[in-house]
Structure 1
Amino acid sequence: MLDYEGLIKESWLLTKKDLGTWIAATILGLFGSIFLITIGPLAYGYNHMVVKSLRSENVRVKDIFEGFKLRNFFGSWIVIIVSTLPYLLIALISSLLAYIVVFPFVYTMPLLVLRKCGGIAACKESARIAISRPVETILITILYGFFVNIGFLALLIGALITIPFAEIFLTGVVFDLTGEERTNGTSIDENTFLNENSPYDNFSE
């Protein structure tokens, strides 16, 4: 059975140990992935950093470019295509369906307040306006969604910490499930963070 507590503690300690490096690499990975061709290699490089961290090797920001080496580039893209294409297709279909459903009712709540009418009447009126002015309604819906969601962008700062933490945790689980050893030959067990001779002692405050 996996030692979830130990894995979580290890993930946090390793994240905290190289926090500046992880933040810089995460920013680089997020912005770099804007370009479709770089998604796979950057994902490979980020996980390369995670494996190095779990093996107690020095982690450097430039390690994120490991995926651009020819032997890693194509493999990383095969993984991205196989693992994300079904998700992207489902997400696209879901987004289109959600938009079709929401589109006619974008004006419903303001109409409910302004007209002081019933909910069904407000929905009908909103749908009538949306159908009669589809171009304007599409634009309004897009702008409204942008204005609502832009405030949540500040919360992405937290992702600069949670992303490396989550990746270290997941890869640590893979280490344990596959029996892969760290360089020092240790693996997580229930005494890892209790043993005074633990190899992770140097990560603690």
Structure 2
Amino acid sequence: MARSKTSKAWLQEHVNDHFVHRAKAEGWRSRASFKLLEIDDKDKLLKPGEVVVDLGAAPGGWCQVAVQRVGEGGKVFAIDLLEMQGIAGVDFMQGDFREESVLREFESRLAGRQVGLVLSDMAPNISGVNVSDQARSIYLCELALEFAREHLKPDGAFLVKVFQGSGFNEFLAAMRETFEVVATRKPKSSRDRSPELYLLGRRLKHGGSV
């Protein structure tokens, strides 16, 4: 079957992408690493010794950044529906975050640790039906926010990828109900045409995990 004009354009853009080439040259698993690097350089989220959770971790670009910056005293817990090659210092679990049994097993790995930073770069498999794709994306954001509410320490932070569209304003309101400070971030490595942006919540309003 012949490729569509859209897929050809994406492939051409990917081949010529500056950040794709940089990722290969510098040993990052994906161009997404540069998004977290830029945000962390600005907001200082990844502190030495910190416990970090990475939701939707594969192929591991964000885990690479996180484990490097929290150092040997820190710990990164990661989960994805897809398989991910191991990274030293990362406790990875393959499973569907939406399933209760998988979530409980993942939570058990935390062993009661309070989390300093929850990262979510989760996105649904794209069907091409915008209304459906957006609804599934917001649902993943809501699940990640619920996880952050339950496991973050009071002064912790939550960084989540959100696609602008239906449900975005409601999710932003939920973020503002949860955190004292909510900011938006659009890293340079996020493609201009992409409706994605990142919401950063800091300091839980109601005390955090117990």
Pair in the same fold by TM > 0.5: no
Q: Which structure: greater strand fraction?
A: 2
Which structure exhibits the higher relative contact order, with contacts defined as CA atoms closer than 8 Å and separated by 6 or more residues?
Answer: 1
Q: TM-score, normalised by structure 1?
A: 0.21
